[in-house]
């Protein structure tokens, strides 16, 4: 039978199931996938505290649509996908707990749909194993309930690549074609540049194989998701090239930078490693990271022997291009950057693990099963330990911002108001103030504008404890906050000059 007429699920070298066009959405036996997705949501709610305050980047995204906070400066690399994602909650409620629950449930549902897109390409046990591996990484759990884009790029990548392979195998599968478009659009909404890197192998394969409809579906999704970002580039930055250049500058001038070691060191729980001068963690922390490409390569070898090379090679290629800029083109690291690569690698890795523990006759290998189970148990213990410490450390920092906001309120800095200087964006959000910066990546105001504003509303200049204040705030009254020095401008005179 020709490959282009009917998708065949091939596992361990044999045909397990044939699906007719479009039937993958109606196929039964999805209980394991639903269970993995439900467990993912539950683990987020149990292990990542729903009451944990918003982080720096989250503040930027959420403030764009928040009911009670001025919008923070939105820099060139950012896209409007996350504000759109959180709008149903943030537009009418300031409850962080409610937002976290909403995102945890939504990410669990999205994981289910992403795994569902691969039905018929791999056995359900492989897909459930892949979902479980990806969902139990500390970085996946940590960012699942957070207003950040990287996990959503990962889930969009799974949907796009899985549906691409389905549509390639069966050109009559219109649902798969729509899935390609939707997955590409989701990625481009969240991070347009990442979406291009992920889909490069798909566009190349579509061009080489002359699958014009598939290539058009990928391109249409990228355009639909990225149009707003491009329009904003011309309106706010003078053009697409100018916005890309500004984004590169903010990210440290993209170019050849070997960041593999930075990413390795960040696995200890450094949510942003810039500069990445932390010590190399104990090998037990990063052993899984070094084993991941080896297992993926073994999964490809299994696929070649089973006669299903393409469905394993394509996600591996997309994972490679997704990871490339964050391993070799950027001068710092954050574990969340590699989430799309982890999601795509999870499927061949799960396939490899199932092959290791299953004999050719389909029976389990007792010794191999015991060894793999022991290694996975140790892996889960490491992931939980890193996650627990990361949540504790992150929560403490955000509680400090809340305490600083409470003290600023006591000092009379209440909305409408303005904060500038060190950590002005997150502290400003918690205080209900606007935020401004004269220098750096978030520069959006000037000294003259700050002084004019101080004549009308309360203004504070934040700095590190003992650090030098900006020149215009040297005579302002000094107050010690939780880990910050705040200099408050003299109280504006009612009816004074604007």
The reply to whether 280 falls in a domain is no
Q: Which domain holds residue 96?
A: 8-252
Rounded to whole angstroms, how far apart are CA atoms 331 and 100? 31
**482 domain residue, yes or no:** yes
- pLDDT score, position 494: 56
Q: Are 55 and 146 in contact (CB under 8 A)?
A: yes
Asked, for residue 356, whether it belongs to a domain, the answer is no
Please give the pLDDT value at position 362. Answer: 86
Contact by Cβ (8 Å): 303, 309: yes
283 within domain boundaries = no
The pLDDT, as a whole number, for residue 13 is 39
**pLDDT value at position 27?**
44
323 occurs within a structural domain: no
Q: How far apart are CA 433 and CA 411, in angstroms?
A: 14
Number of domains within the chain: 2
Residue that terminates a domain, selected from 200, 224, 252: 252
Give the Cα separation of 36 and 78 in Å (integer): 31
Q: Quick check: pTM over 0.85?
A: yes
pLDDT for 496 equals 52
H or E segment and range at residue 141: helix 138-143
Among residues 232, 252, 272, which one ends one of the domains?
Answer: 252
**pLDDT, tens only, 360-419:** 888 999 999 999 999 999 999 999 999 999 999 999 999 999 999 999 999 999 999 999
Residue 276 lies inside a defined structural domain of this protein: no
Q: pLDDT per residue over 267-320, tens digit each?
A: 999 999 988 888 899 999 999 999 999 999 999 999 999 999 999 999 999 999
Domain boundary at 219, 252, 285, which?
252
Tell me whether residue 135 is in a domain. yes
Residues of the chain below pLDDT 70: 1-28, 493-498
364 falls within a domain: no
Q: Find, among 398, 302, 396, the residue nearest to 350 by Cα.
A: 302
SS3 at position 358: strand
The pLDDT score that the predictor gives to residue 16 is 37
Query: How many Cα atoms are found within 13 Å in the side-chain-facing hemisphere of 65?
Result: 19
């Amino acid at each position: 039978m020709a490959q282009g007429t009917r998708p065949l699920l091939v596992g361990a070298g044999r045909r397990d199931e044939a699906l007719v066009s479009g039937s993958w959405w109606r196929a039964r036996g999805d209980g394991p996938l639903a269970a993995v997705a439900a467990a993912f949501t539950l683990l987020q709610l149990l292990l990542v505290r729903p009451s944990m305050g918003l982080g720096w980047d989250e503040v930027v995204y959420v403030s764009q649509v928040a009911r009670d906070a001025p919008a923070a400066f939105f820099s060139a690399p950012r896209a409007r996908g996350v504000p759109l994602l959180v709008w149903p909650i943030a537009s009418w409620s300031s409850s962080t707990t409610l937002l976290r629950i909403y995102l945890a449930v939504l990410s669990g549902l999205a994981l289910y749909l992403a795994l569902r897109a691969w039905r018929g390409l791999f056995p359900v046990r492989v897909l459930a194993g892949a979902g479980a591996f990806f969902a139990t990484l500390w970085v996946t759990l940590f960012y699942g309930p957070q207003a950040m884009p990287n996990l959503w790029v990962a889930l969009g990548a799974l949907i796009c690549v899985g549906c691409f392979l389905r549509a390639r195998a069966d050109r009559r599968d219109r649902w798969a074609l729509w899935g390609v478009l939707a997955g590409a659009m989701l990625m481009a909404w969240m991070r347009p540049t990442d979406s291009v890197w992920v889909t490069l192998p798909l566009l190349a394969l579509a061009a080489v194989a002359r699958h014009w409809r598939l290539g058009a579906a990928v391109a249409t999704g990228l355009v639909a998701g990225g149009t707003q970002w491009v329009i904003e580039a011309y309106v706010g930055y003078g053009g697409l090239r100018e916005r890309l250049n500004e984004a590169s500058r903010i990210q440290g001038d993209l170019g050849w930078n070997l960041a593999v070691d930075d990413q390795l060191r960040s696995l200890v729980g450094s949510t942003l490693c810039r500069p990445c001068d932390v010590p190399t963690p104990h090998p037990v922390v990063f052993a899984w990271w070094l084993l991941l490409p080896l297992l993926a390569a073994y999964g490809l070898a299994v696929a070649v022997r089973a006669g299903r090379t393409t469905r394993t090679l394509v996600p591996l290629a997309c994972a490679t291009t997704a990871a490339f800029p964050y391993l070799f083109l950027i001068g710092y690291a954050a574990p969340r950057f590699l989430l799309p690569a982890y999601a795509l690698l999870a499927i061949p890795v799960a396939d490899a693990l199932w092959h290791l523990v299953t004999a050719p006759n389909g029976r389990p290998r007792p010794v191999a099963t015991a060894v793999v189970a022991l290694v996975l148990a140790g892996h889960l213990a490491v992931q939980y330990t890193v996650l627990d410490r990361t949540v504790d450390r992150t929560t403490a920092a955000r509680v400090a911002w809340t305490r600083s906001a409470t003290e600023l309120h006591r000092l009379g800095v209440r909305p409408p108001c303005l904060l500038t200087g060190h950590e002005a964006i997150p502290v400003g959000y918690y205080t209900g103030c606007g935020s401004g910066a004269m220098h750096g990546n978030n520069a959006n105001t000037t000294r003259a504008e700050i002084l004019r504003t101080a004549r009308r509303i309360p203004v504070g200049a934040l700095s590190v404890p003992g650090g030098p204040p900006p020149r215009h705030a040297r005579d302002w009254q000094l107050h010690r906050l939780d880990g910050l020095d705040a200099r408050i401008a003299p109280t504006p005179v009612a009816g004074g000059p604007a």
